[in-house]
Chain A
Amino acid sequence: MNLNRIVILARRVAQQLVADKRTLALIIVVPVILLTVAGVLIRVEPSGLTIAVVNQDEGVAFGNQSVNLGDRLTANLQNFELFNTRLMNADEAQHKIEDGELDAVITLPADFSAQVAQTRQLTLNIQFEGSNPTVAERLRNAFEQVGDQALAGLATLQATYLNGGPEFDTLDYTASALIGVFVFLFVFILTSISFLRERLAGTLERLQATPIQPLEIIIGYMLGFLIFGLLQGVITLLYTVFVLNIHYHGNLLNVFVIESLLVVVSVNLGIFLSTFARNEFQVLQFIPLVVVTQVFLGGVLWPIEQMPGWLQPIAYLMPLTHANTALRAIMMTGESLGGVWVQIAALLAIGVAVIGLSARTAGRVRM
């Protein structure tokens, strides 16, 4: 092992990226654009939704005073900005929902208050227009969000959070994982393509006619891309924390430890898989295979615990699964590195395995 040669190779990898200004810009700009889009979509307010309330409640006598829960609920609903609430009679509501002018109708029957008083349970009768499932979904979410507030005075919701808190939302959950996805994706693309070029241009053959060892080549590549992987990590992290206002609890430096491990895995996977490609098009075909499957299965969008049992072992073989878990734990619950040692150990094990694979291929000239 010769440190000089490793540094020379790492410097060359860095020089190539610096010379390629467009790719350099891409590494920084694309994650920022994607995070912004994700932020806008995830934090969007369900506006443009219209619901009708058909209030037929006649109230109930409660001691010597009459209570009309229907009126109070309607008044509360009208205060929400999440959707437009209109009052109308049953016929009009039926007519308009059939015309598609309404997204949902809430009907409060004549004995609404009486029923609540009798059963001590509150049942809301909601009819969704339903032709667009996403609208219905947004409405359901909106009702859940406003549920406790709409029923203020009728019932109280006592909510406590073990992790996160009411200020944490889906974006916090998604963005902490996306930071890992971006580093993995870009380092994988860059390594696999630059190593393929190394092979095609014949420079790999020339490298092998120098005293540099395959392992030195790989370490040089890792160091070279680590600089840019971490640079990207810093920028995406600053952007998510200060511009997108992502909430975090943990020590952000721990994020970089996880990202460095991801870079190691990604570089070696890129080198290894580039062996199986004869041109750039074929390398690109590995992206859905390697990156998209990991986004689907790695717990970025759907929790692994909710996957079918046979899929879960596959998910745990993927580096992004462990990186996502660790990044979320660090950012959302403020875990220390010791608290995510299982994920770190898993990433290290995967790293050693892929280094073994890539060292074998880096030593070979021919495909």
Chain B
Amino acid sequence: MTSPESAKTEPVRIEGVYKKFGKVVALHGLSLTIQRGEIFGVLGPNGAGKSTLIRSIVGLIKPDQGQVWVLDEAMPSKPILSRLGYMTQASALYDDLTVRQNVAFFAGLMGCRDQAKIQAALELVELAHRADSPIRTLSGGMRQRVSLASVLAHEPEIILLDEPTVGVDPQLRAQFWAHFRHLTEQGITIIVSSHVMDEAERCDRLGFIRGGQLLAEGSAESLRKQANKANLEEAFLWFAEQKEMVQ
């Protein structure tokens, strides 16, 4: 894969982002910086603002206040999107189309029409043998894999995954994480959201999010140490309590 040269600074910088939907504050002045080539885990309960955060990085949401920078470009910015890969929560695919048509469509919009790369993405998720099957004939896990392939084919520099392993069986989940690790070794940055704490252990760094605010960030190890707790779940609760005491 191509080695990214353009961005000398951190690939994603989030500066004091505030976003309100009606009366609900989804992001409450959140700041965060993601390093190149790391797997950054966005962790928090449902409704914490994980999806809103990821969507604002992709530029689907324009913050009310604050600024998101992706590869030194102020978001929202359409042209930069071809260097990103965004996998939505539910596998968003065209049911009537085949696996290959789906992957080729999304890759094509990103500017990649190289059939070899599309084939490589299909092989990576082990679906090359089902390339000509319509999506509606596939199982849920297979759909997730197609979804992943359609995010990878154009070789993005940053990949954003919104709860990619929801409804995915343990074996496939292990495969996904092996893929993710393999990608970061090539200098690709991955941001993944999850509410499953044991998945968090696999990330290089974590951000604990609750109520649209960043509670803490660091490696799983350092977060546990800081909270003086045996596991991440307890550490998360400890940080949440600390935050409440401050407020």
A16 with B94, Cβ < 8 A, contacts A205-B88, A209-B58, A211-B79 known: yes
A201 with B81, Cβ < 8 A, contacts A8-B105, A8-B108, A12-B105 known: no
A16 with B97, Cβ < 8 A, contacts A206-B88, A210-B82 known: yes
On chain A, the residues within 8 Å of B81 by CB distance are 209-211
Q: Measured between alpha carbons, how far is A207 from B82 in the docked complex, in Å?
A: 11
The reply to whether the CB of A203 lies closer than 8 angstroms to some CB of chain B is yes
Q: Measured between alpha carbons, how far is A9 from B92 in the docked complex, in Å?
A: 16
Most chain A CB atoms below 10 A, which of B84, B93, B108 = B108
The reply to whether the CB of B109 lies closer than 8 angstroms to some CB of chain A is yes
A211 with B92, Cβ < 8 A, contacts A15-B97, A19-B97, A205-B60 known: no
The reply to whether the CB of B239 lies closer than 8 angstroms to some CB of chain A is no
A201 with B93, Cβ < 8 A, contacts A206-B88, A208-B60, A211-B81 known: yes
The reply to whether the CB of B29 lies closer than 8 angstroms to some CB of chain A is no
On chain B, the residues within 8 Å of A19 by CB distance are 96-97, 134
Are the CB atoms of B106 and A206 closer together than 8 Å?
Answer: yes
On chain A, the residues within 8 Å of B89 by CB distance are 202
Q: Measured between alpha carbons, how far is A103 from B108 in the docked complex, in Å?
A: 70
Are the CB atoms of B86 and A211 closer together than 8 Å?
Answer: no
The reply to whether the CB of B110 lies closer than 8 angstroms to some CB of chain A is yes
Map CB proximity to B onto A287-329 as digits: 1 under 8 Å, 0 otherwise: 0000000000000000000000000000000000000000000
Report the minimum CB–CB distance from A361 to chain B (whole Å). Answer: 15
Count class of interface residues, chain B: 20 to 34
On chain A, the residues within 8 Å of B105 by CB distance are 8, 12
On chain B, the residues within 8 Å of A4 by CB distance are 108, 111, 113
Report the minimum CB–CB distance from B58 to chain A (whole Å). Answer: 5
CB within 8 Å of A: which B52-73 residues:
58-60
Most chain A CB atoms below 10 A, which of B89, B92, B106 = B92
The reply to whether the CB of A76 lies closer than 8 angstroms to some CB of chain B is no
CB within 8 Å of B: which A232-255 residues:
none
Please give me the residue from chain A that is nearest to B77 by CB atom. Answer: A211
The reply to whether the CB of B35 lies closer than 8 angstroms to some CB of chain A is no
On chain B, the residues within 8 Å of A5 by CB distance are 108-109
Q: Measured between alpha carbons, how far is A9 from B96 in the docked complex, in Å?
A: 15
Q: Measured between alpha carbons, how far is A212 from B110 in the docked complex, in Å?
A: 8
Are the CB atoms of B58 and A12 closer together than 8 Å?
Answer: no
The reply to whether the CB of A365 lies closer than 8 angstroms to some CB of chain B is yes
Are the CB atoms of A206 and B110 closer together than 8 Å?
Answer: no
Q: Measured between alpha carbons, how far is A201 from B110 in the docked complex, in Å?
A: 20
Most chain B CB atoms below 10 A, which of A202, A210, A211 = A210
CB within 8 Å of B: which A172-204 residues:
201-203
Q: Measured between alpha carbons, how far is A139 from B94 in the docked complex, in Å?
A: 57
Number of A residues, CB within 8 Å of B: 22
On chain A, the residues within 8 Å of B94 by CB distance are 12, 16, 201, 203
The reply to whether the CB of B78 lies closer than 8 angstroms to some CB of chain A is yes
CB within 8 Å of B: which A3-20 residues:
4-5, 8-9, 12, 15-16, 19-20
The reply to whether the CB of A213 lies closer than 8 angstroms to some CB of chain B is yes
Q: Measured between alpha carbons, how far is A207 from B101 in the docked complex, in Å?
A: 15
On chain A, the residues within 8 Å of B95 by CB distance are 201
Report the minimum CB–CB distance from B105 to chain A (whole Å). Answer: 5
Q: Measured between alpha carbons, how far is A20 from B96 in the docked complex, in Å?
A: 7
The residue that B78 contacts in the complex, of A16, A205, A213, with Cβ under 8 A, is A213
Please give me the residue from chain A that is nearest to B58 by CB atom. Answer: A209
The residue that A202 contacts in the complex, of B90, B96, B111, with Cβ under 8 A, is B90
Q: Measured between alpha carbons, how far is A365 from B92 in the docked complex, in Å?
A: 13
Are the CB atoms of B60 and A211 closer together than 8 Å?
Answer: no
Are the CB atoms of A206 and B78 closer together than 8 Å?
Answer: no
On chain A, the residues within 8 Å of B90 by CB distance are 201-202
Q: Measured between alpha carbons, how far is A117 from B113 in the docked complex, in Å?
A: 89
Map CB proximity to A onto B182-215 as digits: 1 under 8 Å, 0 otherwise: 0000000000000000000000000000000000
On chain A, the residues within 8 Å of B134 by CB distance are 19
Report the minimum CB–CB distance from A347 to chain B (whole Å). Answer: 31
On chain A, the residues within 8 Å of B111 by CB distance are 4, 211
Q: Measured between alpha carbons, how far is A208 from B62 in the docked complex, in Å?
A: 13
Q: Measured between alpha carbons, how far is A306 from B81 in the docked complex, in Å?
A: 56
A202 with B88, Cβ < 8 A, contacts A5-B109, A16-B96 known: yes
Are the CB atoms of B110 and A211 closer together than 8 Å?
Answer: yes
Q: Measured between alpha carbons, how far is A211 from B156 in the docked complex, in Å?
A: 13
Please give me the residue from chain B that is nearest to A12 by CB atom. Answer: B105
Q: Measured between alpha carbons, how far is A205 from B88 in the docked complex, in Å?
A: 8
Report the minimum CB–CB distance from A201 to chain B (whole Å). Answer: 6
A365 with B82, Cβ < 8 A, contacts A12-B105, A210-B106, A211-B109 known: no
Are the CB atoms of B86 and A206 closer together than 8 Å?
Answer: yes
Please give me the residue from chain B that is nearest to A207 by CB atom. Answer: B109
On chain B, the residues within 8 Å of A205 by CB distance are 60, 88, 92
Can you identify 8 A-B contacts, CB atoms within 8 angstroms?
A5-B108, A12-B101, A19-B96, A201-B93, A202-B90, A206-B88, A210-B81, A211-B78
Besides the contacts A201-B95, A205-B92, A212-B78, what 10 more A-B pairs have beta carbons closer than 8 Å?
A5-B108, A202-B88, A202-B90, A207-B109, A209-B58, A209-B84, A210-B82, A210-B106, A211-B82, A365-B60
Pick the 7 closest A-B CB pairs, nearest first: A202-B92, A19-B96, A210-B109, A209-B86, A8-B108, A203-B92, A209-B58
